[in-house]
């Protein structure tokens, strides 16, 4: 458990990290967040995560009360205060306390929260043996209604799909767009491998442009493996040679079964394994130093 949590400029004990019940992050899910990782004493791709955070805040007309440089320092100080070298960082900016109405102008100052702690989204056996996933009945929010580039606190769409995976006894689920195209999973991006080529859904279908997904595409190009962002349906996943998921918490997770259908030979694929190995190499040497 975290020893200290950053809350509005102060590092406080978890039991003292309290916000108002009138905070619009609590009342309406009004706010933005980022999940970030630190490896070997370095915060991985912090600049990209902060860029996405501030872009999301700008889109919803929310002025974060710290500059990007100040926020970077706050993240580093929070990790350092908890004496961590490898950890998960949750950076949250809510609209702040206001009244019971929706009007964001009633919230004069956003609330900034940074939590650094250990995380294990999936046990090691899932990386060794692969995940079984389902296709969720809950459809992904339409980008025409809510732009997927906004990483907002309102995660109910994903939570409803996650409930389906819990009830099905599997760790993840694939969400489709309203048109029936594969969009993303409840908390991860998805990639499929067919005949030596890799596909991932485009943002236009309703998925988030994941940081780990971007690193994955960089690795694929480095390996001279063709990769494209294109629309595809669940049948493409069923008949793929490999399927894998990417995310800050999940990293690179192999999928060996979708809706009861075996993927490839039913074992984590070779391309997935190579990407995972290269990803870990990169995370050990790249990032914003925490300890000087």
| Helix or strand (DSSP H, E) at 280 | helix 270-285
Q: In sequence order, which residues have a C-beta less than 8 Å from that of residue 31 and are 6 or more positions away?
A: 24, 25, 62, 92, 93, 94, 95, 110, 111, 152, 153
Q: CA torsion 263→216→151→94, rounded to 10°?
A: 120
| Helices and strands in the chain, H and E counts | 8, 16
Contact call for residues 104 and 154 (beta carbons, < 8 A): no
Point out the catalytic residue in the list 3, 151, 162, 274: 151
Query: Which residue in the block uniquely carries the two structure tokens 């926020």?
Result: 71
Tell me the residue length of the chain. 292
- Strands (E) across 52-196 are located at 87-94, 111-117, 131-135, 172-176, 182-185, 189-194
Sign of CA dihedral 84, 88, 89, 90: negative
Is 262 part of the annotated catalytic residue set? no
Please give the positions annotated as active site: 151
């Amino acid at each position: 458990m975290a020893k200290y949590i950053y809350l509005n400029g102060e590092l406080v004990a978890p039991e003292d990290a309290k916000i108002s019940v009138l905070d619009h992050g609590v009342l309406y899910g009004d706010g933005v967040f980022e999940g970030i990782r630190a490896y070997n004493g370095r915060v991985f791709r912090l600049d990209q995560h902060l860029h996405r955070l501030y872009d999301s805040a700008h889109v919803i007309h929310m002025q974060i009360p710290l500059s990007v440089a100040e926020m970077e320092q706050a993240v580093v100080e929070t990790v350092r205060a908890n004496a961590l070298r490898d950890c998960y960082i949750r950076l949250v900016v809510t609209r702040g306390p206001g009244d019971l109405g929706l009007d964001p102008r009633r919230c004069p100052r956003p609330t900034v929260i940074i939590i650094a702690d250990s995380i294990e989204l999936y046990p090691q056996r899932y990386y060794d043996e692969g995940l079984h996933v389902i296709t969720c009945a809950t459809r992904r929010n339409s980008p025409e209604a809510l732009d997927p580039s906004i990483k907002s606190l309102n995660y109910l769409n994903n939570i409803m799909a996650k409930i389906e995976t819990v009830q099905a006894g599997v760790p993840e689920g694939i969400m489709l767009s309203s048109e029936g195209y594969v969009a993303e999973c409840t908390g991860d991006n998805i990639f499929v491998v067919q005949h030596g080529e890799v596909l991932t859904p485009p943002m236009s279908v309703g998925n988030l442009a994941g940081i780990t997904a971007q690193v994955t595409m960089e690795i694929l190009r480095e390996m001279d493996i063709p990769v494209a962002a294109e629309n595809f349906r669940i049948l493409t996943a069923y008949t793929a040679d490999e399927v894998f998921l990417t995310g800050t918490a999940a990293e690179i997770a192999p999928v060996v079964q979708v809706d009861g259908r075996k993927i490839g030979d039913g074992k984590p694929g070779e391309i997935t394994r190579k990407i995972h190995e290269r990803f870990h190499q990169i995370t050990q040497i790249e990032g914003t130093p925490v300890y000087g």
